[in-house]
């Protein structure tokens, strides 16, 4: 079939079913559960699957829930009671991004919580927090190979609102392996013009526009897009063959956007529509209207959209610094869906904090001075390609110590020419300062620290354990930009 050139998505997916006999994920009976102390939870299977990307088959990982769909959706009040079955053909461990479980259930490979061997099952049981979350492997570079899925926890309010829920998960995709991509980034130690990746041509002239208070002067370049990807996916599909979601004329939609890309930030472009941002990273904010919304790696946005009477409406996600875009289409029944160009008319600007500055938590932290403030310098460069926190590279790091009951502030100061989406496990933090200017910002789990900028977050230390704190650009994380937030007396 490959000799015939590009295949249709349908042909590729049909072929993948035809060869299912060779795919353990589709054929093997579940291994006996190694740890099943009580009633079975929802079954979540880590496995592999085939996508059609640019007319070619692509073998990737996947996380399939009890109804055969990616990930898990929980009803209001339902516990996160899940049996994770590893049929991925290798050991794995899955992190419930943004959720606040006891630390041993967080899915980070600490010595105390090793990965799950192939064929085994591990059970999880905790009270989830409502909102738009996601799950991804935290083992090796499986996340880069799309071991990611939505984790949606619906609230009673969601049910009452009676809105059509649409999940849009974004990915960056390469036919090269993550190992090849990482090797390409790290092998160069010369000038950036010697770098093998074409992504290097995406330096943006910051000039005097856009970055406001940073005042870096004209001609100073900011680095975007470490990797030149082959495709950008929205719900596993490109804009050449987008998912079309049928809506009612005049329908009311809650769009749950998840940036699950490894190394790409997007501008969400609602096209002819406008929306109201009501939550970020699962946590409610005071409503903010908008039609172009920045979305850093690992972040989520909940956007309410009231559709016009009838028609078809693309929802685009455009890559920062590029014209490339992906997306889905919301179309009322019978409305024709026209072909969409995979490139916008011009490059998107760098993803920035323009939205972050406007956000206010619906439920802010109580007013309180921090008991401890940690200052963390984010540093690194494209050549040599290494990234650090306070000059240290994972795993050779000094934990940031916090104690139960403390109000903790972390001031992140970016000494590099690249923005870093910083994610703290096990805690929801509030954004309390941007470039030194105080604000009562959003409560969330991932915040972008712009090139040469600073962001301060605050949280209450209420979840004792060992917690990863890292850049969610996965190639930055893999080359050192990860540390630990740790409580005393954890063994």
Residues that bind Cu ion (CB under 5 A): 420, 471, 473, 476
Q: Which C-beta is closer to Cu ion: that of 82 or that of 471?
A: 471
Cα 377 vs. chain centroid, distance in angstroms? 23
Q: 424, 457 in Cβ contact below 8 A?
A: yes
Give residues with Cβ within 8 angstroms of 243, minimum separation 6.
Answer: 234, 235, 237, 328, 329
> Smallest distance from the beta carbon of 204 to Cu ion, in angstroms?
16
Q: Which C-beta is closer to Cu ion: that of 238 or that of 416?
A: 416
Distance CA 247, CA 302 (A): 17
Q: Closest Cα to residue 380, out of 413, 419, 412, 416?
A: 416
> Smallest distance from the beta carbon of 319 to Cu ion, in angstroms?
17
> Smallest distance from the beta carbon of 387 to Cu ion, in angstroms?
6
Strands 252-259 and 164-173: what pairing?
A: parallel
Q: Which C-beta is closer to Cu ion: that of 337 or that of 383?
A: 383
Q: Which C-beta is closer to Cu ion: that of 49 or that of 420?
A: 420
Sign, CA torsion 394/108/285/232: positive
Q: Which C-beta is closer to Cu ion: that of 123 or that of 386?
A: 386
Sign, CA torsion 375/383/417/199: negative
> Smallest distance from the beta carbon of 469 to Cu ion, in angstroms?
12
Q: Closest Cα to residue 12, out of 236, 166, 269?
A: 236
> Smallest distance from the beta carbon of 471 to Cu ion, in angstroms?
3
Q: Which C-beta is closer to Cu ion: that of 283 or that of 476?
A: 476
Distance CA 282, CA 266 (A): 18
Q: 149, 107 in Cβ contact below 8 A?
A: no
Residue 281, helix vs strand vs coil: coil
Residue 56, helix vs strand vs coil: strand
Q: Which C-beta is closer to Cu ion: that of 355 or that of 471?
A: 471
> Smallest distance from the beta carbon of 414 to Cu ion, in angstroms?
9
Q: Exposure of 474 by Cβ count < 10 A (0-12 exposed, 13-18 middle, 19+ buried)?
A: buried
Q: Which C-beta is closer to Cu ion: that of 42 or that of 471?
A: 471
> Smallest distance from the beta carbon of 178 to Cu ion, in angstroms?
16
> Smallest distance from the beta carbon of 456 to Cu ion, in angstroms?
18
Residues pairing with 80 in the sheet: 126
Q: Which C-beta is closer to Cu ion: that of 378 or that of 400?
A: 378
> Smallest distance from the beta carbon of 382 to Cu ion, in angstroms?
11
Distance CA 367, CA 479 (A): 37
């Amino acid at each position: 079939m490959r000799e015939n050139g590009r295949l249709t998505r349908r042909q590729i997916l049909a072929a993948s079913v035809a060869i299912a006999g060779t795919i353990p994920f589709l054929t093997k009976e579940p291994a006996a559960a190694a740890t099943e102390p009580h009633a079975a939870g929802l079954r979540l299977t880590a496995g592999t699957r085939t996508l059609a990307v640019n007319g070619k088959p692509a073998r990737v990982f996947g996380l399939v829930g009890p109804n055969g769909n990616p990930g898990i959706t929980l009803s209001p009040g339902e516990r996160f009671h899940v049996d994770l079955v590893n049929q991925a053909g290798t050991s794995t461990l899955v992190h419930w991004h943004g959720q606040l479980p006891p630390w041993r259930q967080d899915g980070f490979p600490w010595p105390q919580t090793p990965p799950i061997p192939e064929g085994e099952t591990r059970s999880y049981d905790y009270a989830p927090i409502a909102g738009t979350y996601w799950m991804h492997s935290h083992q090796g570079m499986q996340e880069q190979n799309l071991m990611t899925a939505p984790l949606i926890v619906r609230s009673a309010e969601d049910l009452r609102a009676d809105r059509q829920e649409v999940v849009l998960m974004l990915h960056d995709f390469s036919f090269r392996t993550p190992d090849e991509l990482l090797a390409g980034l790290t092998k160069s130690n010369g000038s950036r013009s010697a770098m093998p990746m074409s992504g290097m041509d995406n330096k943006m002239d910051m000039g005097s526009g856009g970055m406001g208070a940073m005042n870096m002067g004209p001609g100073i370049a900011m680095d975007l897009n470490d990797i030149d990807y082959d495709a950008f996916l929205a719900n596993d599909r490109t804009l050449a063959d987008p998912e079309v979601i049928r809506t009612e004329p005049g329908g009311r939609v809650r769009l749950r956007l998840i940036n699950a890309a490894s190394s790409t930030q997007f501008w969400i472009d609602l096209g002819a529509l406008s929306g109201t941002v009501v939550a970020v990273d699962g946590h409610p904010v005071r409503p903010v209207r908008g039609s172009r919304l920045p979305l850093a790696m690992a972040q989520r946005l909940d956007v309410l959209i009231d559709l016009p009477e009838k028609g078809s409406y693309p929802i685009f996600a455009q890559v920062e610094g590029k014209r490339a875009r992906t997306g889905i289409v919301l179309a009322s029944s019978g409305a024709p869906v026209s072909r969409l160009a995979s490139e916008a008319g011009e490059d998107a600007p760098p993803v920035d904090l323009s939205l972050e500055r406007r956000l206010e938590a619906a439920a802010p932290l109580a007013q309180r001075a921090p008991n401890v403030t940690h200052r963390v310098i984010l540093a690194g460069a494209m050549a040599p390609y290494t990234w650090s926190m306070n000059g240290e590279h994972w795993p050779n790091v000094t934990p940031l110590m916090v104690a139960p009951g403390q109000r903790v502030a972390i001031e992140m100061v970016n000494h590099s020419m690249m923005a870093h989406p910083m994610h703290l496990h096990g805690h929801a933090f509030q954004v309390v300062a941007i470039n030194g200017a105080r604000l009562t910002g959003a409560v969330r789990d991932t915040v972008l620290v712009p090139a040469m900028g600073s962001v301060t977050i605050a949280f209450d230390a209420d979840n004792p354990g060992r917690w990863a704190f890292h850049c969610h650009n996965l190639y930055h994380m893999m080359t050192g930009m990860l540390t630990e937030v740790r409580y005393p007396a954890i063994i």
